[in-house]
Every structure is written in C-alpha cells, then in structure tokens.
C-alpha cells in the first residue's frame, strides 16, 4: 500500500516544478513557439510555394488577400483561366421516378437509380471526348460537388472516365446543394406547395420550412465569389504549373445550376423563370471565348440554347461574351433598350 503524506509548501513547489508539462495547469505551461512556415521549410520557401507559385505575398495560407495589394510583375503572371466551366445535373434519382420517396427518405440521402448511374458514367465520357477534341496533352479536370448523395454518386460514376493523373482535385461544396423544399412527409401538402409555387412564381416562392430560389441565389452568390477567387489564384493546378487546359466541372442540381447561370450572367428574374431544367445526367458548357470571358455560345448552338430557355436578348449577350475581354461592360445591352419603351422614339430598339 502506498503511504500518503501531507505536502508542505517546499515539497509542493518541488512537486510542481518536477511535474511533466502535460499535467501542469495551462497557465503554468511553457508552450512551444509555433512557426507556421516550418512544414514548408524556410519562410522564403513558403512564400515561393504559396499561391500556385504566382502571387508572392506575406499572407501565408490566404494568398488571395494579396491579389489587390501587390502589383503584378512579369515574374508573377496571372494564371490562365480554366478552359471551361461545365455544369452537370445529377443522374436520375429515386425521387425523380417516384415523388413519394421524399416522404420516407431525407432529401440529402436519396440514391441514384441504376439508370441514373449509367447516365452519370455516359456524361463523364461525353466530357472526356469534348476535352480531347482540343488536342492538348496536359488537360485536367477539377470537380466541385454538392454534398447530397445523388450528386456524390453522380461524381463517382462520372469520374470513371478519368484516370487519377487527369483529376487535379475535387471539393465538396454545400452552397451548391439542392433547394431546401422543407418537410415533405405529407405527399398531398407537397403537391399543394408545388402548385402554389407555379402561381406565385418559381423564383420568389419559399417552401414552408424551406427555401425559395431567391434564397438559393444568395448562397450561390457566395459560391461564385469563392470560385472567382479560386480562378484568380490558379488553385486548380500544382505549384508552378500554368496550363490553360484545366476544365472545372460542377456537379449539382437543376435549380441550383440555373441560379448559378442567372447569377453569373446577371439574368433577370423574368429570364430565370423562362429557363427549362436540363435533363438528368446532362450538361451545359461555359467555354472561354476569344477575349477570356465565358460564353454558352462557344459550345452550344442557338437551337440548344433556345431549348434551354434563352431569349433573343440573352442570345445576343452570349454572342457578345464570345469576344468581350475580362472587365469589359456591355454598354449596348439590348435589355436596356427593350426595357424603356420611350427609347422607340430615339430609334434605339434592337
């Protein structure tokens, strides 16, 4: 048996000073100095490695903060923008086949059907075929994916078309998830809510305990800013690489992708409500034009875009996007001319 003896003040001091640091109170511990650049070697090496080798800044870990505060030089060129941003809707899900599934299974956990898995894999091969037509040898793909089960399954099957060396990375992005439809345990109430949405408007109607498309627009706006920052700093390539042949693939849901396009091209609510949902396992391609901006007309023909719901004004704008340079504004925007009826007297209607 161990003998227990009371400690006097001197023995208490001796005990504290001899106690291992991990058992001392936090206020008595001498904590090691942490150098955030240790894992990268010297501080100079950390600065050279950060920002894909293109922005040298003292904001280690947050290179995008240096974009506007440090002038570019010939030694720090802007990374080339990805060649395409490819929007993919998930393959057919069990909820697409039978709406009663929503009354039994939480929306984020709904599976793909076997047909949906096949659609996803076919979509992957279509994307690969499109990219290989460019004739480049150094092409890669980078994925953003909604965290819902049907989108993750879509990505897994879509990815079968690409070997590891062609995939530069992926990121699960909750902001591109499906519109939250609320609690759908009651099938009849679900039907009523969807009927009310058609009457009230697809953009502004908010499902009880859920979201409206306007709510989705707000979180897609945040995602767009992240995506733009990622493009600006070249986050999709290993340090030092500057290939223009990276293709971004966003695997998401029908409404979220339509809202993404609305936000990117600054379409109006009326224009959004005229859009049609793309089919399961289908894609829409935003391809880099001659001036560096992304245009739907670079890949899709007029018939395809009209089928998706683009109007004359939207098609004219996509043609402008094909040749416009980054940062330019379309001062000849046909929407402005058509919005104000008194311009007819000035001969401004296009």
Summarised one tens digit per residue, pLDDT across range 268-297 is: 999 999 999 999 999 999 999 999 999 999
**Average pLDDT, whole number, for the chain?**
81
Is position 178 annotated as part of the catalytic site? Answer: yes
pLDDT of residue 190: 73
Q: If DSSP codes are grouped into helix, strand and coil, which group holds residue 125?
A: helix
Residue identified by tokens 């290939």 is 243
Give the number of other Cβ atoms within 10 Å of residue 19's Cβ. 12
**Collapsed DSSP state (helix, strand, coil) of residue 134:** coil
Confidence at 184, pLDDT banded by 50, 70, 90: low
Q: If you average pLDDT over residues 214-239, what whole number do you get?
A: 93
Please tell me whether 66 is known to bind a ligand.
no
Is pLDDT larger for residue 99 or for residue 191? 99
**pTM of the entire structure?**
0.76
- Asked if residue 30 has pLDDT above 70, the reply is no
Residue 90 annotated as catalytic: yes
Position 55 scores a pLDDT of 36
pLDDT of residue 171: 96
CA 132 – CA 137 distance, rounded (Å): 8
Q: How confident is the model at residue 32 (pLDDT cuts 50, 70, 90)?
A: very low
Check the annotation: does 90 bind a ligand.
Answer: yes
| Domains of the chain and CATH, by start | 84-288 (3.40.50.1240)
Q: Who wins on pLDDT, 45 or 194?
A: 194
Query: Which residues are CB-neighbours of 19 under 8 A, at least 6 positions away?
Result: none
Cβ atoms of 77 and 232 closer than 8 Å: no
Residue 305's CB: how many other CB atoms inside 10 A? 18
Q: Is 342 annotated to bind ligand?
A: no
What are the tens digits of pLDDT across the range 119-178?
A: 999 999 999 999 999 999 999 999 999 999 999 999 999 999 999 999 999 999 999 999
Q: Which pLDDT belongs to residue 187?
A: 67
Q: Kindly name the residue from 178, 211, 253, 313 that is annotated as catalytic.
A: 178
- The reported pLDDT for the residue numbered 310 is 98
Q: Higher-confidence residue: 319 or 29?
A: 319
Structure tokens at 218: 């707000």
Whether residue 201 is annotated as binding a ligand: the answer is: no
Q: CA 40 to CA 160: how far, in whole Å? A: 34
For residue 94, what pLDDT band results from cuts at 50, 70 and 90?
very high
Check 90, 157, 253, 300 and give the catalytic one: 90
Q: Could you report the per-residue pLDDT of 302-350, keeping only the tens digit for each?
A: 999 999 999 999 999 999 999 999 888 887 776 777 778 887 666 554 4
**Position 10 pLDDT exceeds 80:** no
Q: How far apart are CA 211 and CA 218, in angstroms?
A: 11
**Is pLDDT of 87 > 70?**
yes
What does the pLDDT read at residue 192? 78
- Residue pair 110/150 in contact (Cβ under 8 Å)? The answer is yes
93 is in an annotated binding site: yes
């Amino acid at each position: 048996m161990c003998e227990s003896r009371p400690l006097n003040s001197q023995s208490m001091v001796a005990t504290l000073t001899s106690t291992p640091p991990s058992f001392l109170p936090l206020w008595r511990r001498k904590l090691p100095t942490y150098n955030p650049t240790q894992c990268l070697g010297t501080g100079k090496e950390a600065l050279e490695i950060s920002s894909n080798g293109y922005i040298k800044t003292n904001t280690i870990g947050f290179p995008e903060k240096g974009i506007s505060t440090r002038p570019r030089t010939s030694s720090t060129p802007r990374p080339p923008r990805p060649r395409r941003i490819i929007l993919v809707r998930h393959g057919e899900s069990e909820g697409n086949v039978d709406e009663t599934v929503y009354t039994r299974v939480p929306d984020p956990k709904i599976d793909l059907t076997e047909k949906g898995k096949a659609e996803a894999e076919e979509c992957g091969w279509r994307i690969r075929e499109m990219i290989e037509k460019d004739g480049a040898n150094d092409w890669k793909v980078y994925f953003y994916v909604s965290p819902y089960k049907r989108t993750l399954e879509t990505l897994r099957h879509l990815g079968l078309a690409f070997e590891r060396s062609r995939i530069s990375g992926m990121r699960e992005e909750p902001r591109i998830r499906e519109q939250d439809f609320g609690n759908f345990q009651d099938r009849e109430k679900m039907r009523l809510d969807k009927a009310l949405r058609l009457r009230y408007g697809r953009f502004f109607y908010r499902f009880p305990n859920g979201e409206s498309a306007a709510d989705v627009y707000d979180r897609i706006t945040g995602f767009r800013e992240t995506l733009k920052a990622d493009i600006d700093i070249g986050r999709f390539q290993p340090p030092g690489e500057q290939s223009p042949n990276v293709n971004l693939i966003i695997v998401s849901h029908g409404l979220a992708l339509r809202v993404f396009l609305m936000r990117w091209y600054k379409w109006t609510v009326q224009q959004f409500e005229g859009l049609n949902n793309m089919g399961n396992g289908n894609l829409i391609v935003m391809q880099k034009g001659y001036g560096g901006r992304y245009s739907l007309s670079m890949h899709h023909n007029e018939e395809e875009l009209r089928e998706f719901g683009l109007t004359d004004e939207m098609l004219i704008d996509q043609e402008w996007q094909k040749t416009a340079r980054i940062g330019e504004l379309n001062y000849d925007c046909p929407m402005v001319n058509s919005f104000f009826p008194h311009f007819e007297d000035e001969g401004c209607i296009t």
